[in-house]
Chain A
Amino acid sequence: MQQAHARSADNAVDDLFARFGAPAFVPQPGPDNTPTLWVDRQQVLEVLAHLKPRFPMLLDLFGMDERLREHKPAGAADFTVVYHLLNIAGREEIRLKVAMTAADPSVPSAVDIWPNANWYEREAWDMYGITFTGHPNLRRILLPPTWEGHALRKDHPARATEMEPFSLDQEKQDAEQEALLFRPEEWGMARATADTEFMFLNLGPNHPSVHGVFRIALQLDGEVVVDAVPDIGYHHRGAEKMGERQTWHSFIPYTDRIDYLGGVMNNLAYVMAVETLAGISVPDRAKVIRIMLAELFRISSHLVFYGTFAQDVGQMSPVFYMFADRERLFGIIEAITGGRMHPAWFRIGGVAQDLPRGWEQLVREFIDGMPARLDQYQVMAMDNSILKQRTVDIGSYSTAEALEWGITGPSLRATGMDFDLRRDRPYGGYDQFEFEVPVGHKGDSYDRAVVRVEEIRQSLRIVRQCLDNMPAGPYKSDHRLTTPPPKERTLQDIETLIHHFLNVSWGPVVPAGEASFPIEATKGINSYHLVSDGGTSAYRTRIRTPSFPALQQIPLISRGLMIPDLIAIIASIDFVMADVDR
């Protein structure tokens, strides 16, 4: 499968070479299977437009500061913009890179090719000061409009202690207050037409139904949404910047808090990228333990979705039953990992500990009891006619639209697209499991829920297979970067002692290179693009999350509907603000 994938992607490269000539590109070899090409910025739009029919989805677009990088790849300059494209039907990916000098960090905007480039380019501008010429609305997106500098540049301080002490004088306060004023024109909305004066409603950042700190500025005509402009960044914690300071191991707990309902699912995306980078293979038992835990967290995350989905359309009770189930699940996770929502339990090369005695009993009780309860929930929530009235045909989009906007995971499958990374490009041992990939057909709010509910059942199936076929063996890879030498031997010779000392005090040194590893996380495709400069921490950590593009699409699917519909749409998207803002 891996080789087949590599071969078909090479065809895309050959195709490019045939169309534009091989000298137009500088290939960059890497440990992952995604071909990477450097391309001149004069030509990049042409190349992207040529690739679009073959790669309908812009999976990710991000910036990078190369100025302090020692192991610069051929083709790199001061700043880089990376385009990561995904071809779902052909199961292939390609990465394009554009180099820029610090004197002129600009590149033409790809918004006309992929609409979801809009937010990604704003983010790259916000973080690196890279200008995207032709971008319709190049404003800050994650940081406040009054922020000075570009936070992910290498010369921007990472900690408050590296900066001047903060003070808020009157002038500054007035400026901040001024910046908070809402002017519809700045958001691209008109105050009135010839015959209608609009009402503007500020939904969020604190509102019962926005699932965190998320703000939508609504342009209303009565209760009908004329336009909706999402505003994000209230949950931004600089996770990518932290990735440049933390060691490869000590960044793992930070990943837990990206999709904070996904728990170890985040660890999985991260450690698999590190393992790809360092060429570490994981023993079978660790693989199965990881899959089991990841699927348990998928169930947990989907249960939260299920309950809040029903709650947001006004049904009061289901959320309590689903949270009770989630509590049962946390009991198991606590027994295995010691943590609940954020166990930070996966390690590079395996997991932190072996499974505790008696884990089978706990897991079996849960997966035996769950299907009957899901049947009850089906009758209570999904079959309810009012719930259907509220969600069927509300906020629907087609598969083509979903691909254009970078929608992945259950929200993509709800449109009828039969695609799941676990089955179609199996990673971490998923090829050994039997499960089905549920799909919807309308792509409306109701289908998005139906797909997730069915995924709970499929995850239970996977967990049962883990339970019945848990292999024996080590739970951690015997690799010098993951496991320190045995303690007894450190007392005998200096070689193992010094290795042990360095591994424990510094952490592993991962060889220079770049790798990303997309996985099917709870809410869609999550991937960490890691750049190592041969140090004890990442040179660049890019986190591609499924929630970010999902929010960008909200205006498209909510125009012309009413406020309660917007709430139903928000409920059906299943996003987490930390997963959006990082």
Chain B
Amino acid sequence: MSELDTIGFGLILIAAAVGGAAILTWFERRLLGVWQDRYGPNRLGPFGALQVMADMIKLLTKHDWVPPFADRAVFVFAPTAIVVAMLLGFAVVPFGPELYILDLNIGLLFFLGMTSLAVYSVLLAGLASNNKYALLGGLRSAAQMVSYEVFMGLSLMGVVMLTGSFSLRAIVEAQRDLWYCIPQFLGLFTFLIAGIAESHRLPFDLPEAEHELTAGFHTEYGGMKFAMFMLGEYLGLLLISCMITTLFFGGWLGPWLPPIVWFSIKVFALICFFILLRAAIPRPRYDQLMALGWKVMLPLTLLNLLLTGVIALLLEGA
């Protein structure tokens, strides 16, 4: 792609990601409605899809308020950090053989770096709000991130070993014969868990945990700044789904249909799966979550790494 095309595609991608995240808010509510024996938002527009517009108008016109006791600069900055970091993460996702913005040879590391940056958003929000519920949310977030970041990166190293590259395009190309969800099922499992934890969704929504901490780190947020957090969360959900598709389900690969369609179908299925998880699973306690991270997930990840290494060496030898 030429320079200009890349910029154009970048703009389209931003619009699509933000729009997609917005639509997701409606889609999730409808889907939950179906599973929970009720309707969900169904009044505005076809199937209630225009609900998104109504919500946006409401959020945009709300009073842009900063609590007097908050640390103003940090309070305002916090919600933007998550959106920016998540959007940057999309830069390395290959949507098709020629459909990407950057093909970094360290694409995977770039993605991991960006998702890690998003943590600061939650942390800073919790600190800057000067509210006890927000503080507890921020604390939980810090602990959760530290624990889950560790094996999030490690869980992907199996994929890197098999491919021999950090480039996401190379990883997809390497799956022509066999998607990595088969040989790397342990990696997929651990990355999936870590991914949900990264995007703060139930059952890993401890920083928010409305039943315990009212709204956790964003208790003091309202209007557009609150919307930014939600946008960030849904962007995170989209990004994680894109990454799982790329790393474990062969990315754009698939017969007959154009690559971008295959990619979209896979991402969509994953999103539905994430929503189903939210509908079905209760929230573990904070220390139980930590225990799960360190005592179960980390050893599993290391085991996966070990096995993959052994098999890769054996295959090379043969």
Q: Which residues of A contact B (CB under 8 A)?
A: 199, 201, 207-209, 222-223, 310-317, 320-321, 324, 380, 384, 386-387, 389-390, 562-565, 567
Whether B212 contacts A563 by the Cβ 8 Å rule is: yes
- CA gap between A310 and B281 in the complex, in Å: 10
Cβ-defined contact, A311 with B285, below 8 A = no
* Interface SS majority for chain B: helix
CB neighbours (8 Å) of A321 from chain B are: 36-37
Q: Which residues of A contact B278 (CB under 8 A)?
A: 316
B197–chain A nearest beta-carbon distance, Å = 14
Interchain nearest-CB distance for A210 vs B (Å):
10
Tell me whether B38 and A320 are in contact (CB under 8 A).
yes
Contact B132 A386, beta carbon cutoff 8 Å: no
A317-B285 contact given A208-B210, A386-B203, A567-B211, CB 8 Å threshold = no
Q: Does B286 contact A (CB under 8 A)?
A: yes
Are A386 and B37 interface neighbours, CB within 8 A?
A: no
Tell me if A390 and B279 are in contact (CB < 8 A).
no
- A316 is contacted by which of B132, B279, B285, B287 (Cβ under 8 Å)? B279
Q: Nearest Cβ distance between residue B236 and chain A, in whole angstroms?
A: 19
Chain B 259-317 interface residues, beta-carbon cutoff 8 Å to A: 278-288
- The one of A317, A387, A562 that contacts B286, using a Cβ cutoff of 8 Å: A562
A567–B283 CA distance with the chains assembled, in angstroms = 12
B127 proximal to A (CB < 8 A): no
Residue of A nearest to B280 (CB): A317
Q: Report which of A207, A316, A564 forms a contact with B214, defined as CB distance below 8 A.
A: A207
A201, A314, A564, A565: the one contacting B132 at CB < 8 Å is: A201
A313 with B282: in contact, given A209-B211, A320-B36 (CB under 8 Å)? yes
For this complex, 14 residue pairs linking A to B, each with C-beta atoms less than 8 Å apart, are A201-B132, A201-B136, A209-B211, A209-B212, A310-B282, A314-B205, A314-B284, A316-B279, A317-B36, A320-B36, A324-B38, A390-B282, A562-B285, A563-B213
Q: Which residues of A contact B32 (CB under 8 A)?
A: 316-317
Is B209 interfacial (CB 8 A cutoff)?
A: yes
Which partner residue on chain B sits nearest A321 by CB separation?
A: B37
* Known contacts A208-B211, A208-B214; A386 and B36 CB within 8 A of each other: no
Which B residues are CB-close (under 8 A) to A389?
284-285, 288
Q: Would you call B202 an interface residue if the criterion is a C-beta within 8 Å of the partner chain's C-beta atoms?
A: yes
- Chain A residue numbers with a CB within 8 Å of B202 are 314, 316
The docked-state distance in angstroms from the alpha carbon of A199 to that of B135 is 11
In angstroms, Cα B212 to Cα A312, docked, is 8
A201-B132, A563-B136 known; A315-B285 Cβ under 8 A? no
A314 surroundings in chain B (CB, below 8 A): 202-203, 205, 209, 211, 281-284
Write out the residue numbers on chain B whose beta carbons fall within 8 Å of the beta carbon of A310.
282
Interface contact A564-B209, CB-CB below 8 Å: yes
Q: Which one, B38, B282, B288, contacts A315 given CB within 8 A?
A: B282
Q: Is B77's beta carbon under 8 Å from chain A?
A: no
Residue among B202, B278, B282 with most chain A CB within 10 A: B282
Q: Does B185 contact A (CB under 8 A)?
A: no
Other than A317-B32, A317-B279, A384-B282, give 8 A-B pairs with Cβ distance below 8 A: A209-B212, A223-B136, A314-B284, A317-B35, A320-B36, A321-B36, A321-B37, A390-B282
A313 with B214, Cβ < 8 A, contacts A324-B37, A389-B288 known: no
Assembled-state Cα–Cα distance A417/B210 (Å):
35
Residues of A near B284 (CB, < 8 A) are 314, 386, 389-390
Which residue from chain A places its CB closest to the CB of B288 in the assembled complex?
A389
A390 to B287, CA, bound (A): 11
Q: How near does chain A come to B101, taking the closest CB pair, in angstroms?
A: 36
- Please name all residues of chain A whose beta carbon is closer than 8 Å to the beta carbon of B36 when the two chains form the complex: 316-317, 320-321
Nearest-neighbour CB distance to chain B for A189, whole angstroms, equals: 15
Query: B residues bordering A, Cβ < 8 Å?
Result: 32, 35-38, 132-133, 136, 139-140, 202-203, 205, 209-214, 278-288
Task: Give bound CA distance, A415 to B203, whole Å.
Answer: 30
CB distance from B297 to the nearest CB of A (A): 15
A567 pairs with B212, CB closer than 8 A: yes
B279 to chain A, nearest CB (A): 5
The closest CB in chain A to the CB of B206 belongs to A564
Q: How far, in angstroms, from A317 to B37 measured CA to CA in the complex?
A: 9
Known: A208-B214, A320-B37. Contact between A387 and B285, CB under 8 A?
Answer: no
Shortest CB-to-CB span from A463 to chain B, Å, is 23
Residue from B36, B212, B213, B286 with most neighbouring chain A CB atoms (10 Å): B212
- Within 8 Å by CB of B285, from A222, A320, A565, lies A565
In the complex, which residues of chain B have a beta carbon less than 8 angstroms from the beta carbon of A316?
Answer: 32, 36, 202, 278-279
Whole-angstrom distance between the Cβ of A215 and the nearest chain B Cβ: 14
Q: Chain A residues near B203 (CB, 8 Å)?
A: 314, 386
Residue ID in chain B nearest A314 by CB atoms: B283
Complex CA–CA separation, A207 to B214 (angstroms): 6
Q: Contact: B286 with A223, CB < 8 Å?
A: yes
Chain B residues, Cβ within 8 Å of A384: 281-282
Q: B62: shortest Cβ distance to chain A, in Å?
A: 20
- Shortest CB-to-CB span from B290 to chain A, Å, is 12
Q: Smallest CB–CB gap between B211 and chain A, Å?
A: 5
Chain A residues with CB under 8 Å of B280's CB are 315, 317, 380
Q: In whole angstroms, what is the CA distance A312 to B210 when docked?
A: 9
Smallest CB–CB gap between B275 and chain A, Å?
Answer: 11
Q: Which single member of B132, B282, B283 contacts A199 (CB below 8 Å)?
A: B132
Q: Most chain-B Cβ atoms within 10 A of its Cβ — which of A208, A310, A313, A314?
A: A314
Q: How far is the CA of A384 from the CA of B282 in the complex (A)?
A: 8
Q: Which of B139, B212, B281 is within 8 Å of A386, CB to CB?
A: B281
Residues of A within 8 A of B140 (CB): 223
Contacts of B287 in A (CB 8 A): 562
In angstroms, how far is the closest chain B Cβ from the Cβ of A352? 33
Q: Are A386 and B286 touching (Cβ within 8 A)?
A: no
| Residues in A whose Cβ lies below 8 Å from that of B139 | 222-223
| Distance between Cα atoms of A223 and B32 in the complex (Å) | 31
CB <8 Å contact, A390 and B212: no
Whether the pair A311, B281 counts as a contact (CB closer than 8 A) is no
State the Cβ distance, A438 to closest chain B Cβ, in Å.
Answer: 23
Which residues of B lie under 8 Å from residue A564 when comparing CB positions?
Answer: 209, 212, 283, 285-286
Give Cα A102 to B278, complex, Å: 62
Q: How far is the CB of B59 from chain A (nearest CB, A)?
A: 21
Q: Lowest 5 CB-CB distances: which A-B pairs, in order?
A: A314-B283, A315-B282, A320-B36, A314-B282, A386-B282
Inter-chain CA distance A206–B311, complex, in Å, is 57
**A400 to nearest B CB, angstroms?**
28
Alpha-carbon separation in the docked complex, A201 to B133 (Å): 8
Which residue of B has the minimal Cβ distance to A308?
Answer: B211
Q: Is the CB of A315 within 8 A of B211?
A: no
In angstroms, how far is the closest chain A Cβ from the Cβ of B131? 10
- CA distance in complex: A95, B279 (Å): 51
CA distance A563 to B139 in the complex (A): 14
CA distance A324 to B282 in the complex (A): 20
